[in-house]
Amino acid sequence: MPVQTVGDALRHAARLHPDRIALIEGSADRSGRTRIGYGDLLARSERIARGLAARYAKGTHVAIWAPNSVEWVVVQMAAALAGTPLVMLSPNLRAPEVAFILRNSNSRAIFTVERYRDNAMADIARGLRDEIDALADVFLIDELATLDGAAALPDVAPGDNALVQYTSGTTGTPKGVLMTHGGIVTIGHDGAVPMGLPEGSVWLLVLPLASVGGSVFAMMGALTTLSTLIVMREFDAPLMARIIAEEQVTFFNAVTTVHFRLLEHPGTNPESFASVRAITCGGATVPTSLIERIERQYGAACLTTYGMTETSGTVVMSTPDDSFERKSMSAGRTIPGVSVEIRHIETGAPLPPDEIGEICVRSPGAMSGYYGLPEATAAAIDERGWLRTGDLGRLDADGYLSITGRLKEMIKRGGHNVYPREVEDLLVQHPAVAEAAVFGIDDDELGEEIAVAIRLRDGAAAEGPALRDWLFPQIAPYKIPRAWHFLDALPTNANGKVQKFELRKRFDPKTAAAA
């Protein structure tokens, strides 16, 4: 497809199918579910976009901190039409994390909700507005009509930035990944190609819209294939199974954690899921037993996939035609327009098939850079446009990519990226903690679980539950370690660097068994 902006894609869909349902709110009451057609979605988004254009210049960052909803989609479309890149924040983030991102991104406005779980989000956002010089406005997403405006919309180009998502990398310092209009539209469309779904399919979104799996793969995928997107606020196995049957869902993407829990629900069977043609399973290494169980119990093709925020999502994906052996041993082959090389870790030279090295990617979805960090951008993307992923893998002779490990220490827990340095930096601020080393251990359901080894200060006393409670108000719950180990000394090399592989060998049952 030609390179487009998000606005181009939305206007195209509204012109061809103004009455086709674009969005459905995935609520429990089927008769009361909000349904928005493509024509209505464009009209709503343009009204909000004109209000944004009246307040902020093109290129100004605006943020959204909220759970999934159809209103989030309207805000994302409106920000795209107004040329104001949208900074996406998970509703699970705590006030200090949100404050850092808002400051670092120079966001002028934030869209949020009154409350989500135990987060008083609107009150927190208003408090941050008083503390952060750049932050001028707080808008509630259920009061979007107050933003209606009549200002002219700017010209937006495919190379302009559309989304900003913060990811910490190996240093633990959050970095804003800049994703372009052309990148997310192209990856959204081309990432749907391997699935072989027909135009007008029904997609179900259970992943967070604050991730590329939600805001790019699902939202842009459904938009560019002129399909319907059902937006669930959060995962609920009984409701998800009911929606799939009631709305005749064709496709959904989910992480291993969701699949494990959905499979336990009695309503999950081939009869109820008869409309489902394909699903994807990502966020962690997918156990062979899980692929088998998904295909048997859902009665649909389970597709493996690999991607990252810096590539606007999908890099490789398997297809319904791939054999079970292929899917159980690889993440698939590159989607259209994307290239992958495996390079020697030290020399950077391309490696032949079946050699393990660093995965490097050239993609139309590659980030335009890290916001405000030209040196980090240059270190990540070379002069020929190849992105260093920091992940390890190998390509076979047929182009199938297998992920074998990480140069980076990032932990992928149930679809969430957790960066050890961030957690470690907080833990050593506790008066009882001298050293902390956070590492991932294998987990059949989550992919990886978080463990930590602690050396306490001399004479100090602390236990896991107390440190867990101390962390709780400071970081999102999914970042908090579940396994706590207290040692007299952490294993180090000659340079004094903690050897986390030794910790994994000692405390990861699977690693220990393989040793």
Backbone angles phi, psi at 416, to 5 degrees: -100, 140
pLDDT tier at 410 (50, 70, 90 boundaries)?
A: confident
For tokens 């398997």, the residue is: 318
Q: What is residue 350's DSSP assignment? A: B
Phi-psi region of 313 (alpha: psi -120 to 50; beta: other; left: phi over 0): left
The amino acid occupying position 188 is G
Q: What is the pLDDT of residues 39-82, one digit of tens each?
A: 999 999 999 999 999 999 999 999 999 999 999 999 999 999 99
Buried b (16+ CB within 10 A) or exposed e, 74-113: bbbbbbbbbbbbbbbbbbbbbbebbbebbebbbbbbbbbb
- Positions of CATH 3.30.300.30 in the chain: 411-514
pLDDT tens-place string over residues 171-229 = 457 899 999 999 999 999 999 999 999 999 999 999 999 999 999 999 999 999 999 99
Q: What would the two tokens of residue 82 be?
A: 């107004």
The two tokens of residue 12 are: 């195209």
Torsion of CA 189, 194, 200, 204, to 10 degrees: -90
Write the DSSP symbol of residue 435.
Answer: E
Alpha-carbon dihedral 423, 429, 106, 48, rounded to 10 degrees = 60
Cut 0.75: pTM above it: yes
Q: Which residues pair with 447 in a beta bridge?
A: 413, 443
Q: What is the DSSP letter of 153?
A: P
Cα dihedral value 52, 54, 55, 60, nearest 10: 60
Answer yes or no: is pLDDT of 140 > 90.
yes
The yes/no answer on whether domain 411-514 falls in CATH 3.40.190.10 is: no
pLDDT value at residue 274 = 96
- CB contact at 8 A, 263 and 444: no
Reduced to 3 states (helix: H, G, I; strand: E, B; else coil), residue 189 is helix
What pLDDT score does 173 carry? 75
pLDDT band with cut points at 50, 70 and 90 for residue 255: confident
Rg of the chain over Cα atoms, rounded to whole angstroms, equals 23
Other beta carbons within 10 Å of 54: 14
Handedness of CA 148, 153, 158, 160 (dihedral sign): negative
What is the spatial distance between Cα 235 and Cα 69, in angstroms, rounded to a whole number? 13
Q: Taking the CB of residue 442, how many other CB atoms lie within 10 A of it? A: 17
The position carrying tokens 């979605």 is: 41
Residue 327 and residue 298 in contact, taking contact as beta carbons nearer than 8 Å: no
pLDDT for position 312: 97
* Closest of 127, 123, 150, 155 to residue 5, by C-alpha: 155
In degrees, to the nearest 5, what angle opens at C-alpha 284 toward C-alphas 339 and 294?
Answer: 105
What are the residue ranges of CATH 3.40.50.12780 in the chain? 6-395
**Residue of 277, 285, 325 whose CA lies nearest to 302:** 277
Question: What is the CATH code for 6-395?
Answer: 3.40.50.12780
Convert the pLDDT of each residue in 478-513 to its tens digit. 999 999 999 999 987 544 568 888 898 899 876 555
Least confident window among 90-94, 137-141, 275-279? 90-94
Q: Which residue has the tokens 């633990």?
A: 172
**pLDDT band for position 417 (cuts 50, 70, 90):** confident
Contact yes or no for 109/89 (Cβ under 8 A): no
pLDDT digits (tens, 9 = 90+) for 315-345: 999 999 999 889 888 999 999 999 999 999 8
Residues in the chain: 515
